[in-house]
Protein backbone atom coordinates (compact mmCIF):
# COMPACT_ATOMS: atom_id res chain seq x y z
CA UNK A 1 0.00 0.00 0.00
CA UNK A 2 1.35 3.44 -0.95
CA UNK A 3 2.71 5.49 1.96
CA UNK A 4 0.34 8.41 1.32
CA UNK A 5 -2.65 6.05 1.42
CA UNK A 6 -1.35 4.48 4.64
CA UNK A 7 -0.89 7.91 6.21
CA UNK A 8 -4.43 8.90 5.25
CA UNK A 9 -5.87 5.66 6.66
CA UNK A 10 -3.96 6.11 9.91
CA UNK A 11 -5.09 9.73 10.29
CA UNK A 12 -8.72 8.77 9.64
CA UNK A 13 -8.59 5.88 12.10
CA UNK A 14 -7.02 8.03 14.81
CA UNK A 15 -9.61 10.77 14.25
CA UNK A 16 -12.51 8.29 14.31
CA UNK A 17 -11.18 6.71 17.49
CA UNK A 18 -10.69 10.10 19.12
CA UNK A 19 -14.26 11.11 18.29
CA UNK A 20 -15.67 7.83 19.58
CA UNK A 21 -13.71 8.10 22.81
CA UNK A 22 -14.93 11.64 23.46
CA UNK A 23 -18.55 10.70 22.67
CA UNK A 24 -18.76 7.43 24.60
CA UNK A 25 -15.57 6.79 26.63
CA UNK A 26 -16.08 3.17 25.51
CA UNK A 27 -12.53 1.85 25.30
CA UNK A 28 -13.62 -1.41 23.62
CA UNK A 29 -15.23 0.44 20.72
CA UNK A 30 -12.23 2.72 20.34
CA UNK A 31 -9.75 -0.16 20.36
CA UNK A 32 -11.92 -2.01 17.84
CA UNK A 33 -11.79 0.94 15.40
CA UNK A 34 -8.02 1.10 15.65
CA UNK A 35 -7.51 -2.66 15.51
CA UNK A 36 -9.61 -3.06 12.36
CA UNK A 37 -7.63 -0.30 10.64
CA UNK A 38 -4.35 -1.75 11.87
CA UNK A 39 -5.19 -5.19 10.47
CA UNK A 40 -6.19 -3.73 7.11
CA UNK A 41 -2.99 -1.69 6.85
CA UNK A 42 -0.69 -4.36 8.21
CA UNK A 43 0.36 -3.19 11.66
CA UNK A 44 1.29 0.48 11.68
CA UNK A 45 3.31 1.58 14.72
CA UNK A 46 1.21 4.73 15.18
CA UNK A 47 -1.96 2.70 15.50
CA UNK A 48 -0.29 0.16 17.77
CA UNK A 49 0.83 2.94 20.12
CA UNK A 50 -2.67 4.46 20.09
CA UNK A 51 -4.25 1.08 20.89
CA UNK A 52 -1.96 0.65 23.88
CA UNK A 53 -2.60 4.22 25.04
CA UNK A 54 -6.36 3.73 25.03
CA UNK A 55 -6.11 0.31 26.69
CA UNK A 56 -4.07 1.90 29.45
CA UNK A 57 -6.55 4.80 29.71
CA UNK A 58 -3.83 7.36 29.12
CA UNK A 59 -6.00 10.20 27.71
CA UNK A 60 -8.90 12.17 29.17
CA UNK A 61 -10.43 15.37 27.75
CA UNK A 62 -11.03 18.10 30.31
CA UNK A 63 -14.36 18.87 28.62
CA UNK A 64 -15.56 15.46 29.84
CA UNK A 65 -14.35 15.93 33.44
CA UNK A 66 -16.22 17.27 36.44
CA UNK A 67 -14.83 20.46 37.94
CA UNK A 68 -13.02 19.86 41.23
CA UNK A 69 -13.03 23.51 42.19
CA UNK A 70 -13.96 26.78 40.55
CA UNK A 71 -14.52 30.47 41.11
CA UNK A 72 -16.28 32.72 38.63
CA UNK A 73 -16.01 36.46 38.62
CA UNK A 74 -19.04 38.64 39.26
CA UNK A 75 -20.60 39.39 35.89
CA UNK A 76 -19.75 35.98 34.45
CA UNK A 77 -22.45 34.01 32.66
CA UNK A 78 -25.46 33.18 34.82
CA UNK A 79 -25.03 29.46 34.09
CA UNK A 80 -21.91 29.52 36.23
CA UNK A 81 -19.34 31.14 34.01
CA UNK A 82 -17.90 28.06 32.34
CA UNK A 83 -18.75 27.05 28.78
CA UNK A 84 -18.32 23.47 27.60
CA UNK A 85 -18.32 22.94 23.83
CA UNK A 86 -19.98 26.31 23.19
CA UNK A 87 -17.16 27.31 20.86
CA UNK A 88 -15.80 24.65 18.52
CA UNK A 89 -14.33 26.72 15.67
CA UNK A 90 -11.35 29.04 16.05
CA UNK A 91 -10.90 32.44 14.44
CA UNK A 92 -8.64 30.66 11.92
CA UNK A 93 -11.53 28.48 10.77
CA UNK A 94 -10.31 25.26 12.39
CA UNK A 95 -13.05 23.13 13.94
CA UNK A 96 -12.32 21.05 17.03
CA UNK A 97 -14.16 18.22 18.79
CA UNK A 98 -14.57 19.94 22.15
CA UNK A 99 -13.67 23.05 24.09
CA UNK A 100 -13.61 24.61 27.55
CA UNK A 101 -13.63 28.29 28.37
CA UNK A 102 -14.70 30.68 31.10
CA UNK A 103 -16.04 34.24 31.21
CA UNK A 104 -13.72 35.02 34.10
CA UNK A 105 -12.23 33.20 37.08
CA UNK A 106 -10.74 29.73 37.30
CA UNK A 107 -11.55 26.04 36.94
CA UNK A 108 -9.62 23.29 38.71
CA UNK A 109 -9.41 19.59 37.82
CA UNK A 110 -8.31 16.87 40.23
CA UNK A 111 -5.44 14.81 38.84
CA UNK A 112 -3.98 13.44 42.09
CA UNK A 113 -3.31 9.72 41.90
CA UNK A 114 -4.41 9.41 38.29
CA UNK A 115 -0.92 9.27 36.79
CA UNK A 116 -1.32 12.12 34.29
CA UNK A 117 1.95 13.77 33.37
CA UNK A 118 1.11 16.15 30.52
CA UNK A 119 -1.58 18.63 29.56
CA UNK A 120 -1.99 19.18 25.83
CA UNK A 121 -4.38 21.39 23.93
CA UNK A 122 -4.85 24.32 21.59
CA UNK A 123 -5.60 27.73 23.07
CA UNK A 124 -7.01 30.44 20.86
CA UNK A 125 -9.79 32.85 20.05
CA UNK A 126 -13.13 31.43 18.88
CA UNK A 127 -14.75 32.40 15.61
CA UNK A 128 -17.02 35.42 16.00
CA UNK A 129 -15.19 37.17 18.85
CA UNK A 130 -14.13 40.75 18.10
CA UNK A 131 -11.67 42.90 20.05
CA UNK A 132 -12.24 46.55 20.87
CA UNK A 133 -10.98 48.94 23.55
CA UNK A 134 -13.41 47.56 26.14
CA UNK A 135 -13.37 43.84 25.24
CA UNK A 136 -9.78 43.59 24.11
CA UNK A 137 -8.66 40.01 24.76
CA UNK A 138 -7.74 37.47 27.44
CA UNK A 139 -5.03 35.08 28.58
CA UNK A 140 -4.80 31.94 30.72
CA UNK A 141 -2.51 30.86 33.54
CA UNK A 142 -2.10 27.09 33.99
CA UNK A 143 -1.33 26.48 37.66
CA UNK A 144 -0.34 23.26 39.39
CA UNK A 145 -1.16 22.73 43.09
CA UNK A 146 0.40 20.28 45.52
CA UNK A 147 0.76 20.47 49.30
CA UNK A 148 -1.47 23.58 49.24
CA UNK A 149 1.10 25.47 47.17
CA UNK A 150 0.44 26.74 43.66
CA UNK A 151 3.01 27.03 40.87
CA UNK A 152 2.36 28.75 37.57
CA UNK A 153 3.36 26.21 34.95
CA UNK A 154 2.47 28.15 31.82
CA UNK A 155 1.00 31.52 30.83
CA UNK A 156 -0.37 32.16 27.37
CA UNK A 157 0.27 35.36 25.50
CA UNK A 158 -2.62 37.82 25.47
CA UNK A 159 -5.09 36.48 22.91
CA UNK A 160 -7.09 38.80 20.63
CA UNK A 161 -9.44 38.27 17.72
CA UNK A 162 -6.49 38.10 15.30
CA UNK A 163 -4.23 35.85 17.38
CA UNK A 164 -3.23 32.52 15.90
CA UNK A 165 -4.26 29.46 17.98
CA UNK A 166 -1.28 27.98 19.82
CA UNK A 167 -0.57 24.34 20.61
CA UNK A 168 0.28 23.99 24.29
CA UNK A 169 2.07 21.16 26.09
CA UNK A 170 2.68 21.46 29.84
CA UNK A 171 4.36 19.04 32.23
CA UNK A 172 1.95 18.42 35.15
CA UNK A 173 3.86 15.55 36.79
CA UNK A 174 3.30 15.26 40.53
CA UNK A 175 0.59 17.89 40.91
CA UNK A 176 -2.68 17.23 42.73
CA UNK A 177 -4.92 19.80 41.05
CA UNK A 178 -4.49 21.68 37.77
CA UNK A 179 -6.13 25.09 37.57
CA UNK A 180 -6.87 27.15 34.47
CA UNK A 181 -7.27 30.82 35.39
CA UNK A 182 -8.69 33.32 32.91
CA UNK A 183 -7.62 36.97 32.86
CA UNK A 184 -9.40 39.60 30.78
CA UNK A 185 -7.58 42.40 28.97
CA UNK A 186 -9.47 45.65 28.38
CA UNK A 187 -11.08 48.56 30.19
CA UNK A 188 -14.60 47.21 30.84
CA UNK A 189 -15.00 46.89 34.63
CA UNK A 190 -16.85 43.55 34.51
CA UNK A 191 -13.91 41.51 33.22
CA UNK A 192 -16.20 38.80 31.87
CA UNK A 193 -14.93 38.09 28.36
CA UNK A 194 -12.41 35.35 29.09
CA UNK A 195 -13.81 33.40 26.13
CA UNK A 196 -11.23 35.16 23.95
CA UNK A 197 -8.90 32.50 25.38
CA UNK A 198 -10.66 29.19 24.73
CA UNK A 199 -9.09 25.77 25.27
CA UNK A 200 -9.74 23.51 22.28
CA UNK A 201 -9.35 19.73 22.73
CA UNK A 202 -7.57 20.13 26.06
CA UNK A 203 -6.58 16.79 27.56
CA UNK A 204 -4.56 15.22 30.34
CA UNK A 205 -2.27 12.40 29.26
CA UNK A 206 -0.11 9.77 30.93
Q: Which residue has the higher pLDDT, 77 or 38?
A: 38
pLDDT at 74: 46
Q: How many CB atoms lie within 10 A of CB 70?
A: 16
Distances (CA, A) of 56 to 5, 42, 52, 193, 202: 28, 22, 6, 38, 19
On the 0-12 / 13-18 / 19+ scale of CB atoms within 10 A, 32 is: middle
pLDDT at 78: 37
Global confidence as pTM: 0.79
pLDDT single digits (tens) 165-177: 999 999 999 999 9
- Beta strand extents in 63-191 (DSSP E only): 69-72, 82-84, 99-102, 105-110, 118-124, 137-146, 149-155, 166-171, 177-185
Question: Does residue 100 register a pLDDT over 70?
Answer: yes
Longest C-alpha distance within the chain, in Å? 60
pLDDT single digits (tens) 128-140: 999 887 778 999 9
Question: Does residue 32 register a pLDDT over 80?
Answer: yes
pLDDT at 71: 77
Candidates 183, 185, 168; CA nearest to 102 is 183
Mean pLDDT of 134-162: 94
- Between CA 57 and CA 63, with CA 61 as vertex, the angle to 5 degrees is 145
Amino acid sequence: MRSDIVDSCVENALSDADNKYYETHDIDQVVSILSVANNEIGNDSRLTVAINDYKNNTIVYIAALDMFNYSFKEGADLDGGESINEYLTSNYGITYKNSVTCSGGYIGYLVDGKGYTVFKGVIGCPEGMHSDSFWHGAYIDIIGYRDDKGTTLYTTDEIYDGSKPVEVEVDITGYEVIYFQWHCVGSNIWKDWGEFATIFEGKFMK
